[in-house]
Amino acid sequence: MSYYVRPATLKDVEKMRRLISFYAAKGLMLPRDRGFLHKALANYSVAVGGGNFIGGGKLAGTCGFRLWQPDWIEVVSLAVKPEFQRQGIATALIQSVINKGVALGFKYFFTLTLVPELFEKSGFKKINFKKIAFKVRSDCQLCPKNDAGPGKGSCNEIPLELTVKP
């Protein structure tokens, strides 16, 4: 089945929220509400697959990014519908974030994931939580999985980074 990746639009927000919520309900990612997705819409891409691509097709996946000071981008909310998995869509979505980040002048990327091998295909390497202490201080304290500290207790996220050379 064929697909393409494009910037997310307002019409995609509810579909993105439902897809992310599907995986969040399984404890595989953090939920994102409509308000969050609406505010961050310019930072998200979607993959569309199947059907007629001229205004048609189904939302197959989504991925976004979050900017961090001074020069990091976090890859967030990577989700692909089960029926579209194993077709390269997740890798294409990750690459879309990398491409946009590089176009904005960023060269340092990171993510927290339960599927490190997916990001390793794109060149990401495992790191220690200490390297992204700014993320830990800001977000990990609020995470429902953080009952014993990042990477401990219920936290099963694995941090990875990618440095893109100019």
Stretch among 20-29, 103-112, 134-143 having the lowest mean pLDDT: 134-143
What does the pLDDT average to over 27-50? Answer: 90
- The CATH number linked to 48 is 3.40.630.30
pLDDT for 41-97, tens place per residue? 999 999 998 765 555 678 999 999 999 988 999 999 999 999 989 999 999 999 999
Say whether 134 sits in a helix, a strand or coil: helix
Stretch among 53-57, 136-140, 143-147 having the lowest mean pLDDT: 53-57
Distance CA 25, CA 123 (A): 29
- Provide the number of structural domains found in the chain: 1
- Which residue range forms the structural domain that includes residue 61? 3-163
Give how far the C-alpha of residue 95 lies from the chain's centroid of Cα atoms, to the nearest Å: 11
What does the pLDDT average to over 30-40? Answer: 91
Phi, psi of 136 (to 5 degrees): -60, -45
Report the relative pairing of strands 58-68 and 72-80 from DSSP bridges.
Answer: antiparallel
Is the pTM higher than 0.85? The answer reads yes
